[in-house]
Homo-oligomer: A and B are copies of this chain.
Amino acid sequence: MRVAFQGEPGAYSEAAALEHFGSQIETQPQISFEAVFHCAESGECDMGLIPIENSLAGSIHQNYDLLLKKTLYVIGEHLMPIHHCLIALPGASLAGIRKVISHPQALAQCDGYLHTLAGVAVEPVYDTAGSVKMMRQQGDPGIAAIASRRAAELYHMAILADCIEDHPANFTRFLAIGREPATPKSDAKTSIVFSLVNQPGALFKALSVFALRDIDLTKIESRPLVGKPWEYYFYIDFIGSVSDPACERALAHLGEYASMLRVLGSYPLYKLKTD
């Protein structure tokens, strides 16, 4: 089974794909999230795994937009604790670091730590593991990258500091995407996207279809509706499967208010293992 992810080998998304699908899969690095969707849509790979939300830095909005633009189903979710390392060339010292590079999300998650490094410039690049690769190529001991311990080891680099994320409760939620919908048996979650006619109380009515049936919402996200300034697409995740009678009725009810409604997929609810 081939699974596409965004980033270089050693990226958090690759580690999540291996955890989620098992170590027997073949991971396929892609340059962008769009390329991950394209790869899964065209059949070049079987599935994709994308980050959708981080518990410190928030949603990855580009992936919300791509879920709407593309025709793939959400077939699974995966939660992974994220621990960032400050990584530099072997022999480099923390005092000598003048520039830190990494993906904007990783930089955002380490914002507090980075503020403690006086006089250090911060530069966003396309990927966490890719920032380690770039740092190695540039061969400058004044540059450090932020990425996983696994990326440091893969590129044989030194770890100057570990667990530099601003808060220990740093998790990323990933979504698995594929061409065929999943059919979860029990303990499911469903992701939908809809738009509403712009009138007072519209969102309240939309949420009533879940509240009146005791269906638990776990996430709401809004994104601009392109071409209609200050109107929005709403993305909602709720507990339950589209095949549950109450959820089915809730979605039919939502259809009465929505100007557009699409089910992105029902999939098994991920439960974090506690050791």
Residues of A within 8 A of B (CB): 53-58, 61, 104, 124, 166-167, 169, 171, 173, 200-201, 203-205, 207-208, 210-211, 214-224, 226-230, 232
Q: How far is the CB of A138 from chain B (nearest CB, A)?
A: 16
- Contact: B223 with A219, CB < 8 Å? no
Residues of B within 8 Å of A230, CB to CB, are: 55, 173, 218-219
Residue in contact with A58 in the complex, picked from B124, B220, B223, CB distance below 8 Å: B223
- Contact: A224 with B56, CB < 8 Å? yes
In the complex, residue of chain B having the shortest beta-carbon distance to the beta carbon of A216: B200
Query: Quick one: given A220-B220, A222-B221, are A167 and B227 in contact (CB under 8 Å)?
Result: yes
In the complex, residue of chain B having the shortest beta-carbon distance to the beta carbon of A220: B222
In the complex, residue of chain B having the shortest beta-carbon distance to the beta carbon of A239: B200
Q: How far is the CB of A196 from chain B (nearest CB, A)?
A: 11
- Contact: A55 with B229, CB < 8 Å? yes
- Contact: B204 with A208, CB < 8 Å? yes
A-B contact pairs, 14 of them (CB 8 A): A54-B224, A55-B224, A55-B226, A55-B229, A56-B226, A58-B223, A58-B224, A171-B229, A200-B211, A203-B207, A205-B211, A218-B230, A219-B232, A221-B222
Q: How far is the CA of A94 from the CA of B108 in the complex (A)?
A: 35
Residues of B within 8 Å of A232, CB to CB, are: 219
- The 7 residue pairs across chains A and B that have the minimum distance between CB atoms: A55-B229, A204-B211, A201-B211, A200-B216, A204-B207, A58-B224, A171-B229
Q: How far is the CB of A211 from chain B (nearest CB, A)?
A: 4
Q: How far is the CA of A205 from the CA of B215 in the complex (A)?
A: 14
Residues of B within 8 Å of A223, CB to CB, are: 58
- Contact: A169 with B228, CB < 8 Å? yes
- Contact: B220 with A203, CB < 8 Å? yes
In the complex, residue of chain B having the shortest beta-carbon distance to the beta carbon of A214: B200
Q: How far is the CA of A71 from the CA of B21 in the complex (A)?
A: 46
- Contact: B218 with A210, CB < 8 Å? no
Residues of B within 8 Å of A220, CB to CB, are: 203, 220, 222
Q: How far is the CB of A16 from chain B (nearest CB, A)?
A: 15
Residues of B within 8 Å of A215, CB to CB, are: 200
- Contact: A203 with B217, CB < 8 Å? yes
- Contact: A227 with B169, CB < 8 Å? yes
Residues of B within 8 Å of A55, CB to CB, are: 224, 226, 229-230
In the complex, residue of chain B having the shortest beta-carbon distance to the beta carbon of A53: B224
Q: How far is the CA of A11 from the CA of B167 in the complex (A)?
A: 34
